[in-house]
A and B are shown apart, each in its own frame.
Chain A
Amino acid sequence: MYLGVDIGSSSSKAVLINRAGMVCGEGIVNIGTGSKGPQISVEQALRQAGIQRCDVRKCVVTGYGRLMYEGADRQITEISCHAKGVKFLWPTASTIIDIGGQDAKVIRVSINGIVENFVMNEKCAAGTGRFLEVMARVLDCRIEDLSGLAARGNPGVVISNTCTVFAESEVISQLAAGMSIEDVALGAHKSIAQRIAGLCNRIGIADAVVMTGGVALNHNVVTAIEKEIHHPIIRLEDPQAMGALGAAIFAREMEAGNS
């Protein structure tokens, strides 16, 4: 078995694949680097696959916490791992939008799977999962409820996309001015979508566009991005696990000697 571990800023993911490339175990924990998250996610994946750690032939680690993780044979950036994971499941993918806890990135991949270029958000959390966490807190809802709320919202509320802190105070004043939670949630999603569209335009969009990362679980954000970039977006079943899947594939290639 081959193990891929993706340690993000707010979640940890582990994927185990067998020699044939089939996923045999997976673990996703909503705590990230510096916590017990990575260990718990690996234990979950091992349990699901019904194997022990010593049965793992190779392990590759990726994500923000990759440099601190012990026990991997190699560490590879999340940029290459997301590209690897997505191309494995969706070979015609050319553009990958990955929005995680603290990063938003757009990756351009060649036909043969090589990362040609990528762009990432600047230091501010605007346009990332952290932005949505802040929005959910101010709107007093759970993060997983944002998508349903925004789907019932009416367009028109404008939220800044240059700074999360400004956006937070804008939301508070919009609510104080009597705007509904649904309308504000939709405005916040549009704000992320515009920011991501800026990154997409910088790098150039080519079909097929695939979205990964935790934010891809929010269907309303995905729809808002589709409207901004005028391209359909493919949603994979398990967008959060793409980095870990890519890492596991790299682990398998390591043993095959072609990485």
Chain B
Amino acid sequence: MEHQKTSKQLLGELLDKHYADALHAKAEGKPVAWSTSIAPQELLETMGIHAVYPENHAAAIGARKHAQEFINHSEGKGYSVDICSYARVNLAYMDIQQCEAANIPLPDLIFCCNNICNTVIKWYENIAKELNVPMILFDPPFNHEYEISDQNVKYIKAQILHAITRLEEITGQKFDYDRFREVMKISSETSRWWKKASLLACAKPSPLNGFELFNYMAIIVCMRGTKEGLELFKLWHDELQEKKEKGVGPWKDGEEKYRVMWDGIACWPYLGDTYKVLKKYGINMVTSTYPDSWYIVYDENDLDGMARAYSSNYVNRNLAFGTDNIIGIVKDFQLDGIIYHSNRSCKLMDFRQFEVQRKVEASTGVSSVIFDGDQTDPRAFSLAQFETRIQALVEMMEAKKRMGGAFYE
């Protein structure tokens, strides 16, 4: 019976279903889209187009430690080592179409939104060109001002409306606005519960071991517009709430000594290794920038709100916003430290990392460390170097605790 399952079991089942449904749709001749991770999936869900997410899929291949063979294939084709490793994995998958993680069908449509990344434009364009399939591009401009301007909202809304027309042309079907309203409602609701659940980690000790965010994220990416996705996050929330009320911490066999945030994407090929190093020192990664990344909330039928929400991701915001965002996280989650992942793949995220670190430190006094790694390229990470940096962070956090903590405390 559904309600007796744990959220973890449900998570596994939903992910299997997500990939199986995509393969099934393709086999039945229905269109499948490849979409970026924070794109207006509401439109695809409304049209009944099954979407799969190459970034997520590349991460899954990375987590299963099979990224290298795909990376070798892409580099052999001529893609540079300096290009994002998700792109290198996915562009190779397009050729190989077989992996240890779940397989995904080739796309009939490319759905690309550059609110989180610029590389996606050329990466997805290449796929569209090679497979000769249409591409719909959403172009939320970078927000140079602190808030999102009305002009940007207008521009993005026009793109959403244009995308609806394109989808009607591509599928030969009318867009169902009643269904759209329903999907908008579910999507916002799922986002709310995702954030509500992840905010329970503000409790001391946190009932959440933050590495779980990396696992649950798969569903907020892939099934945000579905009732099953919504139910999962409600269930996850209730489980965490129960743990919180009982005062249960993140681990059965260890105490939460330090609370940190992880900035940037996980090192998927070393997920277990990085987790173990942190746990060894009693560090719980209570949060990251992920809870807010998928907090895409607006009123149903509010296209302006939807346009604004898709432009609001912190990666698409100016330095002052990015800094305030992390300062807020430090205070809300009562952090002892921050681990910044200087991710070789993601120039956009790394670009201002040093400056954000400086400003956050000056404002909160919280200790932090930057380590070099990569989201999926296993060659760009050294476990010994990682551990030295983490241990040094512990020594800094410990010294600060003895001196009375960071200033914000």
Point out residues on A near B: beta carbons under 8 Å: 64, 67, 76-80, 112, 114-120, 122-123, 202, 204
What string of 1s and 0s marks CB contacts (under 8 Å) between B364-407 and chain A? 00011110100000001010110111011001100110010000
Docked complex Cα distance between A120 and B380 (Å): 15
Enumerate chain A residues within 8 angstroms of B403, measured Cβ to Cβ. Answer: 112, 114
Is A80 a contact partner of B392 (Cβ separation < 8 A)? yes
Is B382 a contact partner of A64 (Cβ separation < 8 A)? no
Is B391 a contact partner of A77 (Cβ separation < 8 A)? yes
Enumerate chain A residues within 8 angstroms of B370, measured Cβ to Cβ. Answer: 119
Is B361 part of the contact surface with A, judged by Cβ < 8 Å? yes
Closest to A76 in B: B395
Enumerate chain A residues within 8 angstroms of B354, measured Cβ to Cβ. Answer: 202
List the 3 closest pairs (A to B, CB-CB), nearest first: A79-B392, A77-B392, A114-B399
**Cross-interface CB contact of B392 among A114, A118, A123, cutoff 8 Å:** A118
**Cross-interface CB contact of A79 among B368, B372, B387, B395, cutoff 8 Å:** B395
Enumerate chain B residues within 8 angstroms of A76, measured Cβ to Cβ. Answer: 391, 395
**Cross-interface CB contact of B396 among A115, A122, A202, cutoff 8 Å:** A115
Query: Given contacts A80-B392, A114-B396, A115-B399, could you give 11 more A-B pairs where the C-beta distance is less than 8 Å?
Result: A64-B388, A77-B391, A114-B399, A114-B400, A114-B403, A115-B395, A117-B368, A122-B342, A123-B382, A123-B385, A202-B354
Is A123 a contact partner of B368 (Cβ separation < 8 A)? no
Q: Is the interface of A mostly helix, strand, loop or mixed?
A: mixed
Enumerate chain B residues within 8 angstroms of A118, measured Cβ to Cβ. Answer: 369, 392
| CB of A196 to closest CB in B, whole Å | 16
- Categorize the interface residue count of chain B: 20 to 34
Is A120 a contact partner of B395 (Cβ separation < 8 A)? no
Is B368 a contact partner of A77 (Cβ separation < 8 A)? no
| CB of A30 to closest CB in B, whole Å | 21
Closest to B402 in A: A114
Enumerate chain B residues within 8 angstroms of A114, measured Cβ to Cβ. Answer: 396, 399-400, 403
Enumerate chain B residues within 8 angstroms of A204, measured Cβ to Cβ. Answer: 358
The B328-363 residues at the A interface (CB cut-off 8 A) are 342, 354, 358, 361
Closest to B361 in A: A117
| CB of B248 to closest CB in A, whole Å | 31
Docked complex Cα distance between A119 and B369 (Å): 8
Docked complex Cα distance between A189 and B367 (Å): 33
Enumerate chain B residues within 8 angstroms of A115, measured Cβ to Cβ. Answer: 392, 395-396, 399
What string of 1s and 0s marks CB contacts (under 8 Å) between B307-326 and chain A? 00000000000000000000
16 contacting pairs across A/B (C-beta < 8 A): A77-B392, A79-B395, A112-B403, A114-B396, A114-B399, A114-B400, A114-B403, A115-B395, A115-B399, A117-B367, A118-B392, A119-B370, A122-B372, A123-B372, A123-B382, A202-B354
